[in-house]
Structures are given as C-alpha cells and as structure tokens.
C-alpha cells in the first residue's frame, strides 16, 4: 500500500518539496501506525529543508507536530516528537530531551507531512475531543518548548516581569499564555500593531513594536530602569545581545532558538557584575508534555491557529511561515 507524502529529496528553497507516493510504514514491536489528520509547521522544518542538518539522510518527510488517529484502536493522539534511546543516564532520569542519541520526528526520521507515520506506542498520547486535531497539531514543539523554558528552566514566578520576543510566532503565542497564567507581568515584541493587539487578547500586558522603537529603551521605560526578570529569546544574534542588556540584576535569559542568527557576541562584564544568567533551553520532557496537554485539554491554555493548508500545498504553507505572516501556527491538514 502507498500513501501521499511530501519529501525533501534535496536541500534548497520550498521548491524542492516533492509530493510522492510512498510506502505506508509498518509498525514493529512496541510501535503504532498513526493515520495523520494534521501536522503543524515549525521553523525547524525550514532548517531541515535548507540543509542545516547535513548529517541527515535524504529523502526525508518533514514535520514534527503530528496529530491523528491510531489505526488499530481509533484513539485520537498527539505525538511526543522526541525519539530517545531510553537507556542513557539522561533518559533514565526522565530527561529524554537531553538523550545522548536523540532523534526528532521529521528531522532524523520521517515525520508528519504524510498520510501515516509509525511511532513508539509511548509517544502517541491520547487526547480529548475538547480540541479538534488541527488544534492539537499546533501543540508539540511550541507549547513544550515554552513550558520547559519558562516553568522548568526559568522558574518564572508570580509578579516577575518577562519579555517575550516575536510574540506572533507559535512559540510566542504559547509563551504569553503560560507566563500570563503563571501571574507574571508580560511584555511582548512584534513587528506589527495588529500582532501586538492579538497578543493582548492572549494575556500580554504591555507591547513593543520593535519597528518603531528600540525595544531595550522601551523595556527600561516600562520597568523604570530596573529591567525584566526573564527574557525568552528564540531569535539569537543582535536580538539576544540586546536582550541581555534588558535583564535586571540576577535576571535570566532563556535561549531556545536561532531563527534570526546562530551566533551572538556578548560583553562579559555586565553578566558577572549584575549576576545575569544566560541559559539554553531545548524542547522538554515527556512529563512536561503530559502537563501541557492536560492544561490544553482543560482549555486553561489554547492553541492559536493562523492558517491551514492541505498537504499538497506544503510549499505554499512553508513560504507563508517563512515570510512571517502568521500570528500563531500554520497547519497542514491531511
């Protein structure tokens, strides 16, 4: 049997994406076949397509954020996207995201731009029908990354202030809700007033249009010169450098991506003089994923779907994401 799938046969722009008839994968011991109903897009998909993971074997089917139905049981599930070895010290202690042999669906193994996927049974998490599967497909990377960064790494506390960059991204829309629900004072940046207005409806309290003002100046004005307790940055480069200067004494910056630039040059004295902390944050554990799914199922947090495209229009969907039109997530429906 065959299925429709979108493959990356060679690295390049969205034009390299190719619709193919691929064999339906077969589930082995401890695995399940999931009929995909929706797959959320991430900037990680773009990085895979551009060739930023040269160790990958091509062709590969991209897509990390998968929601669907288990073929054998009919259960509605969302897929935990991390494939871990299960035996290294990190896996044994429950830190699968730090596995020494970590694999990510849609990166190191075929993912969700297809009609079906095979995953370990433990990675297919049943979800309620309080959200449809298109909404569930927005969850894995964005909400897991935001939760791990803000709750586990930053230990964001009630009354603290946080600066969230690029609030219109999937990660941004997740983070603003998590921070607001946790009782923080939420300051956000975006490049349009429309996105900032939408962010206010998600729980942001103060907004900065970085195209109109210098965000560092705006942060110090809003905090009366104190700076913010936490910054969430997934852009990198000069944005990260400026973000460090926005931190209060003892403040924490969480670096969880590099959508703008993979490098940054920091001045050291302001770090140690003010005991500022710059921390890396990467995805999250299965336990954290279950916590996030529970809150979404109860609608304490909510997915934000900007646009959906049918599977065969995957190239158009990636262009839409890359051009930063979206507020929230872009999803492929199958």
Q: What is the mean pLDDT of residues 303-310?
A: 97
- 184 and 100 part of one domain: no
Does one domain contain both 13 and 60?
yes
Under the banding of pLDDT at 50, 70 and 90, the label for residue 53 is confident
Establish if 286 belongs to a structural domain. Answer: no
Tell me the C-alpha distance between 49 and 8, whole Å: 6
Task: Note whether 125 and 149 are same-domain residues.
Answer: no
56: confidence class by pLDDT, cuts 50, 70, 90:
confident
Q: Clarify whether residues 225 and 114 are in a common domain.
A: no
Distance from C-alpha of 233 to C-alpha of 239, rounded to nearest angstrom: 8
CA-nearest of 12, 8, 244 to 111 is 8
Identify whether residues 83 and 101 lie together within a single domain: yes
**Which CA distances in Å does 139 have to 5, 50, 156, 170?**
21, 24, 21, 9
Q: Clarify whether residues 112 and 241 are in a common domain.
A: no
Task: Give the mean pLDDT of the chain.
Answer: 96
pLDDT band at 260 (very low <50, low <70, confident <90, very high): confident
Torsion of CA 50, 56, 59, 60, to 10 degrees: -80
pLDDT tens across 187-202, in order? 999 999 999 999 999 9
What's the CATH number where 248 sits? 3.40.50.720
Domain count along the chain = 2
Cβ of 44: how many Cβ atoms within 10 Å?
22
Q: Are 229 and 251 in contact (CB under 8 A)?
A: yes
Banded pLDDT at 294 (limits 50, 70, 90): very high
Q: Are residues 243 and 150 in the same domain?
A: yes
Cα–Cα dist 140/114, whole Å: 17
How sure is the predictor about 262, in pLDDT bands with cuts at 50, 70 and 90?
Answer: confident
Q: What's this model's pTM, rounded to 2 decimal places?
A: 0.96
Note the maximum CA span of the chain: 64
pLDDT of residue 54: 79
Structural domain boundaries, residue 212: 143-280
CB count in 10 Å sphere of residue 20:
14
Please tell me whether residues 147 and 134 are part of one structural domain: no
Structure confidence by residue, pLDDT tens digits, 212-242: 999 999 999 999 999 999 999 999 999 999 9
Please tell me whether residues 81 and 148 are part of one structural domain: no
CA separation for the pair 84, 168 (Å, rounded): 30
């Amino acid at each position: 049997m065959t299925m429709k799938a979108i493959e990356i046969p060679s690295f390049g722009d969205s034009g390299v994406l190719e619709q193919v008839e691929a064999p339906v994968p077969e589930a082995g011991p401890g695995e399940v076949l999931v009929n995909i109903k929706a797959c959320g897009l991430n900037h990680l998909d773009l990085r895979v397509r551009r060739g930023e993971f040269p160790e990958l074997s091509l062709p590969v089917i991209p897509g990390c954020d998968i929601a669907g139905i288990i073929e054998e049981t009919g259960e509605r599930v969302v897929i935990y996207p991390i494939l871990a070895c299960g035996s290294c010290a990190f896996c044994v202690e429950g830190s699968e995201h730090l596995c020494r042999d970590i694999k990510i669906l849609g990166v190191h193994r075929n993912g969700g731009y297809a009609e079906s996927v095979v995953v370990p049974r433990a990675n297919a998490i049943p979800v309620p029908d309080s959200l449809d599967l298109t909404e569930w497909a927005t969850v894995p990377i964005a909400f897991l990354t935001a939760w791990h960064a803000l709750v586990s790494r930053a230990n964001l506390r009630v009354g603290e202030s946080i600066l969230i960059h690029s609030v219109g991204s999937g990660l941004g829309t997740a983070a603003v809700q998590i921070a607001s629900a946790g009782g923080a004072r939420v300051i956000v940046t975006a490049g349009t007033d429309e996105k900032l207005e939408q962010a206010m409806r998600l729980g942001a309290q103060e907004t900065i249009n970085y195209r109109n003002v210098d965000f560092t100046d705006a942060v110090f004005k809003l905090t009366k010169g104190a700076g913010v307790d936490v910054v969430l940055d997934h852009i990198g480069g000069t944005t990260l450098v400026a973000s460090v200067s926005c931190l209060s004494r003892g403040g924490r910056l969480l670096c969880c991506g590099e959508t703008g630039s993979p490098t940054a040059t920091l001045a050291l004295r302001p770090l140690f003089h003010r005991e500022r902390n710059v921390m890396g944050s990467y995805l999250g554990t299965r336990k954290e994923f279950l916590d996030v799914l529970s809150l979404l199922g109860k609608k304490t947090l909510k997915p934000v779907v900007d646009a959906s495209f049918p599977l065969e229009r995957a190239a158009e969907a990636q262009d839409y994401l890359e051009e930063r039109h979206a507020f929230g997530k872009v999803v492929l429906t199958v």
